[in-house]
């Protein structure tokens, strides 16, 4: 699957405008430069996966809304998990990764 960065930029801009946010505000929330944010929306710059994640968090959505045009809204479930992971040390993160790998392999 080839990513269409022009569409990704348009989806980011659409979400940002729907939330009545400026590029500067989203850039601040995502901890990226304002010019870089503008370049992403115009498909001048190609964002890394990490930057797409930061923008998604800044715009209170999931990266798939930008990448494929659909978003998973799970009442903040993924954000709650991300917040828990954010404060873990390396040992805890390794344990969490092992558990999540095991859980993803289960047929529930």
What region does 60 belong to: left with phi over 0, alpha with psi -120 to 50, or beta? left
Most distant CA pair in the chain: distance in Å? Answer: 45
CA distance 27 to 12: 12
Mean pLDDT on 22-49: 96
pTM for the predicted model, two decimal places? 0.65
How do residues 51-95 score in pLDDT, each as one tens digit? 999 999 999 988 888 887 766 555 556 667 777 777 888 898 889
Average pLDDT, the chain: 86
Residues 70 and 64: beta-carbon distance below 8 Å: yes
């Amino acid at each position: 699957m080839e990513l269409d960065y022009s569409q990704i930029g348009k989806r980011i801009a659409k979400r940002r405008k729907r939330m009545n946010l400026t590029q500067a505000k989203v850039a601040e929330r995502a901890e990226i430069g304002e010019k870089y944010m503008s370049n992403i929306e115009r498909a001048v710059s190609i964002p890394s996966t990490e930057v797409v994640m930061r923008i998604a968090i800044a715009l209170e959505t999931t990266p798939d809304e930008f990448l494929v045009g659909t978003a998973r809204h799970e009442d903040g479930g993924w954000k709650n998990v991300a917040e828990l992971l954010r404060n873990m040390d390396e040992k805890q993160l390794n344990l969490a990764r092992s558990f999540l790998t095991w859980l993803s392999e289960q047929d529930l």
